[in-house]
Structure 1
Amino acid sequence: MDYDKLSVVMRRLALEAGDKIMEIYNADDFEVKTKSDASPVTEADEAADALISAGLRAEFPDVLLVTEEQAASHSQRADTFLIVDPLDGTKEFVHRRGDFTVNIAYVENGVPTRGVVYAPAKERMFFTLGDGTAVEEAGPFAKTSVGELTPINVSDADNAALLVVASKSHRDQATDDYINKYAVADSKSAGSSLKFCLVATGEADIYPRVGRTMEWDTAAGHAVLHGAGGKVVRFDDHSPLVYGKEGYANPFFIAYSPSVELKKA
């Protein structure tokens, strides 16, 4: 894989998808449908998926593409693949809360090594460079040229005063019970894969997820966090979270700065 090309293409497609999503987001009304798993899907999900899929297949025709909105791709497997959630945080989108992202990632042998997370409503863009290191780009964002980049790194956490981020739409008692095992200075909520990026930038130290997610929800944020020096492990035994699993479903997990002293579940 030409990683420099991959970085450029993923970033450009995320921006193009973001434009399409915001066009629909800012409209007076948009259609919301319900998928077979009872989760919502909008015309923005579908439009962004079509755009990203066409772009990736044109540039990387020999790489398996797995995307949330194309059920046929969920039964396909490969050691190396691209994985996409064209609009992560659909509930945030529907309620016009802004915490939604475009996620595109590249997975090699179970590890997300490259990725982009773009939050168009918040005008925040995080991605990995060709060498795998993670950066945040300052807007405004141009499709054909990259703006000012800031390398991002996880925090040197103070275990006596941790900064925690948790899900906005899926916060529950089990999550709170686990967070209460730590000495917490501040706890915030965020939607979509932005939570990984807040850990990657040091704005949070730890993000525990005690709830259902799919690999397309997490791979891009995982890649960004990995590029910033962070880790993502299973909630139960703290082994690395791996990708390419049957059905692309994740177990519960913890994303964190390695300076955090992890507690047992």
Structure 2
Amino acid sequence: MDYEKLETVMRRLALEAGDKIMEIYNADDFDIKVKSDDSPVTEADEAADALISAGLKEAFPEAILITEEQAGTHDTRADTFLIVDPLDGTKEFIKRRGDFTVNIAWVESGVPVRGVVYAPAKDRMFFTRADGSSVEEAGPFSKDEVGTLTPIKVSEPDNDALFVVASKSHRDQATDDYISKYATKDMKSAGSSLKFCLIATGEADIYPRVGRTMEWDTAAGHAVLAGAGGRVVRFDDHQPLTYGKDGFANPFFIAYSPDVVLKEA
């Protein structure tokens, strides 16, 4: 893979998809449908998916592409592929809460090594550079010219006063029970893959996910976090979370700064 080209293409497509999403988000109304798994999908999901998929196929015709909105790609078996969630946080989008993201990632030998996470309603953009390091770009954003880039790095946490981030739409008792094992200073809620990015920037120390996710939900955020020195491990045995699993479904996991002393499940 040409990482320089990948960085440029992923960033540009994320911005273009973000523009399309915000055009629909700011409209008086938009169409909402229900998929076979009872999750919602909007015209913004579908429009962003069409734009990103076409752009990736044109730029990288030999690469395998997995995308949430194309069920036909979900039966693919591979450990090296592009993976897309064109609008992560659809529930946040529908409620007009702003915590939704565009996610594009490159997975290599089961590991997300490059990715972009763009939150268009919050004007925040995070991506991995060609060298694998992660940055946050300051807006306003231009598709043709990269703005000011700030290298990001995970925190050096105080295990007696941790900053925890948890899901906004999927918080449950099992999550709260696990968080209670830690000495926490503050806890915040965030939607979509922004939770990974908050750890990548040092704004939070740990994000436990005790609930269903798919690889397209996590790959881009995982790549950004890894490029900032963070880790993502399985909840049950603390082994690295890998990709290309059957059906692209994730087990429960923990994303964290490596200096956090993990508790057993």
Give the partner amino acid of 2:99: D
Per-residue deviation, residues 13-66 of structure 1 (Å, max 9, x unmatched): 000000000000000000110000000000000000000000000000000000
Instruction: Determine if the alignment matches structure 1 residue 110 to structure 2 residue 116.
Output: no
Alignment-derived partner of residue 127 in structure 2: 127
For residues 114 and 20 of structure 1, the distance between their equivalents in structure 2, rounded to whole angstroms, comes to 23
For residues 20 and 169 of structure 2, the distance between their equivalents in structure 1, rounded to whole angstroms, comes to 24
Contact 2:79-2:243 within 8 A present in 1 as well: no
Secondary structure of the equivalent of 1:49? helix
For residues 103 and 73 of structure 2, the distance between their equivalents in structure 1, rounded to whole angstroms, comes to 16
What is the CA distance between 1:213 and its match in structure 2?
0.1
Alignment-derived partner of residue 8 in structure 1: 8
Secondary structure of the equivalent of 1:83? strand
For these two proteins, the number of residue pairs brought into alignment is: 265
What is the CA distance between 1:248 and its match in structure 2?
0.0
What is the CA distance between 1:79 and its match in structure 2?
2.4
Instruction: Determine if the alignment matches structure 1 residue 54 to structure 2 residue 54.
Output: yes
Give the partner amino acid of 2:255: A
Alignment-derived partner of residue 176 in structure 2: 176
Alignment-derived partner of residue 238 in structure 1: 238
Alignment-derived partner of residue 85 in structure 2: 85
What is the CA distance between 1:221 and its match in structure 2?
0.0
The answer for unaligned runs of 5 or more in structure 2 is none
What is the CA distance between 1:242 and its match in structure 2?
0.2
Secondary structure of the equivalent of 2:91? helix
Alignment-derived partner of residue 214 in structure 1: 214
What is the CA distance between 1:167 and its match in structure 2?
0.1
Secondary structure of the equivalent of 1:114? strand
Secondary structure of the equivalent of 1:75? coil
What is the CA distance between 1:78 and its match in structure 2?
1.9
Alignment-derived partner of residue 17 in structure 2: 17
Alignment-derived partner of residue 166 in structure 2: 166
Alignment-derived partner of residue 195 in structure 1: 195
For residues 210 and 105 of structure 1, the distance between their equivalents in structure 2, rounded to whole angstroms, comes to 23
Superposition RMSD on alpha carbons, in Å?
Answer: 0.3
Instruction: Give every structure 1 segment of 4 or more consecutive aligned residues whose post-TM-superposition deviation is greater than 4 Å.
Output: none
Query: What is the TM-score with the length of structure 2 in the denominator?
Result: 1.00
Contact 2:103-2:221 within 8 A present in 1 as well: yes
Alignment-derived partner of residue 69 in structure 1: 69
What is the CA distance between 1:145 and its match in structure 2?
1.0
For residues 150 and 62 of structure 2, the distance between their equivalents in structure 1, rounded to whole angstroms, comes to 32
Per-residue deviation, residues 100-132 of structure 1 (Å, max 9, x unmatched): 000000000110000000000000000000001
Alignment-derived partner of residue 143 in structure 2: 143
